[in-house]
Chain A
């Protein structure tokens, strides 16, 4: 039981009463967890959460989710999040779309045998609806788009960094399980990225490249350099322009996902583009900030030094996973058009490598309505899935397989081999990875 007399964090009477059990023993335990969390972060106090949540706990598998026993305990106590929430993508149980071998399918069935029960618990605890499962929840089709300045408590590192940086909302990088618990309490510690001071940049990153750099490589370079600090990035404006149009949103989403994977970046500012940078400019930079130039050479070296983690490094690629995080409509359309054009130019009908593109359920429904584009993609041999490519590797049976990806995030967590989009497209059409790649 928490020692209420020796807390540094300032609690309201109502919060203290909850800690003393006024809302029952389960809520007392939830509150104790949240208060200890605030203490550990040296928070002055807890503040109210003001909008829908997004959490990184969609799967029932141990190690990436709260245990079913814990969810049962919360649900039986009648607890629910203050606002509805969305979740990361579904487990890969849509086998028709994935082309997995029998042993992998059997393993997945075994791993996710409790998924239905888990999903029911999530609905009881505040999940928005049965299809609220995507790692790109701020697409218009999904609609979890907190407004500028809104305090939320999100997890999923790629979503938290996007919410902070591009939407201008305020969230800390909450961990799995704590995401759910703070949203049940409806309060989150006032620290770091929720504060004006915590949102200032301690790094000036100057991008000096000849062309617009690949966002996933740039993000990885930035993340590895600044780790958990806030970078102020200059040098992208003359490539991207000043408007947050769909292409820029996609670029920043990919970059942010990589920043968060290779470091612990929860917020970045891009000069003249992201909302706080537009409003405050270089006043966001802290005195004595560090500086780093990232150029073409640095990015090429980064890419060249990625190890090939396939069991047989020279193997013919067997599969390609595109979309980690889930693609937007704009990105999906890019792939549809590019695949079509590339196949036509070579007089081919189908890609040489089995390819799965991962998108949200909402986008999948929308895309299916565009029959012409949908049929073009399917005819090219591409399948669409609303699940998560990374979770296929959690079976333990995919490690080392010759899989390609356009996602530097997927590369970080698996043995999939990353290529930038244009280069990957060439490989998908020809079936060949160049020896010096």
Chain B
């Protein structure tokens, strides 16, 4: 959807990713990294999301999330990529596209990677994402 060639470390969540709740504590000026602030997501709570490759099924929660992505891109604390096992949801699509066209930096976004993709991903794995959308475990 938003192609880019990058390498990075994986973080996985099998729950819906609440973008607003996850980044809420990191939206102020001067923040150097985004630590997940969503206490309902035990897989990611407290973990550093900056420069990570986040593997998820879909995003949930507040429609405010649309603006969150523009902000984290501007602050330089955004993840490198969002890899969706399902078709991307409207909130994530809106936010990531706006961040791309109006925020000036791309968060690589690929969707419909499949359930097996998500099952094969674990925290800490290094992956390479190519421009054509293929994802290689390093």
Cα–Cα, bound, A191→B111 (Å) = 17
Check: A70 CB closer than 8 A to any chain B CB.
Answer: yes
Cα–Cα, bound, A393→B70 (Å) = 20
Taking A40-B1, A396-B28 as contacts, is the C-beta distance between A192 and B67 under 8 angstroms? Answer: no
Cα–Cα, bound, A340→B59 (Å) = 43
**Count of A-B residue pairs with CB < 8 Å:** 145
CB <8 Å contact, A413 and B98: no
Most B Cβ at <10 Å: residue of A36, A263, A394, A396: A36
Most A Cβ at <10 Å: residue of B67, B72, B92: B67
Specify the chain B residue showing the minimal Cβ separation from A415.
B39
Proximity string of chain B (82-117) to chain A, C-beta cutoff 8 Å, 1 when within and 0 when not: 000001111111110110011000000001000000
Check: B53 CB closer than 8 A to any chain A CB.
Answer: no
CB <8 Å contact, A228 and B60: yes
Specify the chain A residue showing the minimal Cβ separation from B68.
A63
Check: A335 CB closer than 8 A to any chain B CB.
Answer: no
Contact of A37 among B62, B71, B93 (CB under 8 A): B93
Contact of A33 among B16, B21, B87, B102 (CB under 8 A): B102
Sort chain A's interface into a size bin: 35 or more
Most B Cβ at <10 Å: residue of A178, A227, A262: A178
Contact of A155 among B18, B21, B63 (CB under 8 A): B63
Check: A347 CB closer than 8 A to any chain B CB.
Answer: no
Check: A42 CB closer than 8 A to any chain B CB.
Answer: yes
CB <8 Å contact, A42 and B39: no
CB <8 Å contact, B89 and A177: no
CB <8 Å contact, A40 and B58: no
Proximity string of chain A (135-152) to chain B, C-beta cutoff 8 Å, 1 when within and 0 when not: 000000000000000000
Check: B74 CB closer than 8 A to any chain A CB.
Answer: yes
Identify whether the interface residues of B are mostly helix, strand, loop, or mixed.
Answer: helix
Taking A33-B102, A413-B21 as contacts, is the C-beta distance between A157 and B62 under 8 angstroms? Answer: yes
Q: How far is the CB of B126 from chain A (nearest CB, A)?
A: 27
Contact of A177 among B1, B61, B102 (CB under 8 A): B102
Kindly list chain A residues whose C-beta atoms are within 8 Å of the C-beta of B27. Answer: 61-64, 394
Check: B40 CB closer than 8 A to any chain A CB.
Answer: yes
Kindly list chain A residues whose C-beta atoms are within 8 Å of the C-beta of B20. Answer: 64, 413
Check: A32 CB closer than 8 A to any chain B CB.
Answer: yes
Check: B44 CB closer than 8 A to any chain A CB.
Answer: no
CB <8 Å contact, B24 and A174: no
Kindly list chain A residues whose C-beta atoms are within 8 Å of the C-beta of B74. Answer: 62, 67
Sort chain B's interface into a size bin: 35 or more
Kindly list chain B residues whose C-beta atoms are within 8 Å of the C-beta of A156. Answer: 63
Check: B64 CB closer than 8 A to any chain A CB.
Answer: yes
Taking A40-B93, A176-B67 as contacts, is the C-beta distance between A413 and B58 under 8 angstroms? Answer: no
Cα–Cα, bound, A263→B64 (Å) = 14
Check: B25 CB closer than 8 A to any chain A CB.
Answer: yes
Specify the chain A residue showing the minimal Cβ separation from B65.
A175
Check: A287 CB closer than 8 A to any chain B CB.
Answer: no
Contact of A175 among B21, B40, B91, B101 (CB under 8 A): B91
Taking A157-B62, A261-B61, A412-B21 as contacts, is the C-beta distance between A64 and B90 under 8 angstroms? Answer: no
Taking A41-B90, A41-B93, A172-B90 as contacts, is the C-beta distance between A227 and B16 under 8 angstroms? Answer: yes
Kindly list chain A residues whose C-beta atoms are within 8 Å of the C-beta of B92. Answer: 175
Kindly list chain A residues whose C-beta atoms are within 8 Å of the C-beta of B8. Answer: none
Kindly list chain A residues whose C-beta atoms are within 8 Å of the C-beta of B71. Answer: 62-64
CB <8 Å contact, B98 and A33: yes
CB <8 Å contact, B97 and A64: no
CB <8 Å contact, A175 and B102: no
Cα–Cα, bound, A57→B67 (Å) = 8
Check: A307 CB closer than 8 A to any chain B CB.
Answer: yes
Specify the chain B residue showing the minimal Cβ separation from A156.
B63
Cα–Cα, bound, A253→B59 (Å) = 22
Known: A37-B93, A66-B67. 8 other contacts (CB 8 A): A37-B94, A41-B87, A61-B27, A64-B68, A172-B90, A177-B102, A178-B95, A309-B39
Chain A interface residues (CB < 8 Å from chain B): 29, 32-33, 36-37, 40-42, 56-57, 61-67, 70, 155-157, 160, 172-179, 181, 191-192, 223, 227-228, 260-264, 307, 309, 393-394, 396, 399, 412-413
14 pairs, A vs B, C-beta closer than 8 Å = A33-B101, A56-B64, A63-B23, A175-B63, A175-B67, A175-B92, A176-B64, A176-B94, A178-B98, A179-B66, A191-B90, A262-B40, A264-B60, A307-B39
Closest 3 CB pairs of A and B: A175-B66, A175-B94, A63-B27
